[in-house]
Amino acid sequence: MFIENDVIIGDRVTVKCGVQLWDGMRVDDDVFIGPNATFANDPFPRSRQRPEWFATTRIREGASIGANATILPGVTIGRHAMIGAGTVVTADVPANAKVVGNPGSIIGYVDSDEGRPQVERPEKVTLARSSEAELPTGVRIVGLPLHRDMRGALVAGELAETVSFVPQRYFVVFNVPSRHVRGEHAHRVCSQFLTCLAGSLSVHLDDGEHRVEVELDSPTTGLLIPPMVWASQFRYSGDAVLLALASHPYDADDYIRDYEEFLSELG
């Protein structure tokens, strides 16, 4: 193991053999770094040309980095994230995400048990099996009625009953590369209603205490997300089309895009 000069390491950190921690590394408490994990701190390295500054790479509390993973300069790995062995991390990793592959992509999120991450993938919540106790506070899975005859199929709902708010805005998400993640934020006052019109995708929900993954794969399933619930959408199928209804017009100040800030505002 080698530790350069401008490196900050927290308490109870495990660093295995064959790891070099270069200038600009910031490692929070309870991080695990597996053998031969590789970090870089210069986005444009040149022989005998020392940069004016080194990129800051941040490993948040409780994150785990597998053996032989490669972490590019300037990346932040969120708290309790799990980086698989041999993964190449090219972009920031959200809190609690499980990332594998080259380039790294999110395959799921770790579950929660009294605030401690578990290796097992969180159980998916489906419409038939869901209960209010399994979901973060205020989240509801809503069944939308399907009408089918020889002319085709139709799904319809009354906004007051189904959505529980009068939408002020809508947006449609499609053509998302499967390794990309959408969302990754919470709202302070805005509620949202999501339904997948075609294809499938997964929604990760987090109220600061409970985390759960909901799979949306039919326009007969809607997902109501209240304010102050962190939500991310990932694992989009190639034909996925997501419709989102919002209770308020767009307001940049209503978004909480930093997970640490989200936890702080929850108190």
Point out the residues that are catalytic: 185
How far apart are the C-alpha atoms of 72 and 89, rounded to whole Å?
A: 6
How far apart are the C-alpha atoms of 24 and 259, rounded to whole Å?
A: 22
Q: Is the four-CA dihedral 240, 241, 247, 251 of positive or negative sign? A: positive
What are the b/e assignments for 113-148, b being 16+ CB within 10 Å?
eeeebeeeebeebebeebeeeebbeebebbeeeeee
Which phi and psi angles does 196 have, rounded to 5°? Answer: -95, 110
Q: How far is CA 254 from CA 142, 207, 227, 257, in A?
A: 25, 17, 10, 10
- In terms of Cα–Cα distance, which of 82, 71, 16, 86 is closest to 41? 71
Q: Could you tell me if 6 and 24 are in contact, meaning their C-beta atoms sit under 8 angstroms apart?
A: yes
Q: Could you tell me if 104 and 119 are in contact, meaning their C-beta atoms sit under 8 angstroms apart?
A: no
Q: Is the four-CA dihedral 46, 101, 125, 181 of positive or negative sign? A: positive
How far apart are the C-alpha atoms of 41 and 222, rounded to whole Å?
A: 44
Q: What's the burial of 162, exposed, middle or buried (CB within 10 Å: 0-12/13-18/19+)?
A: middle
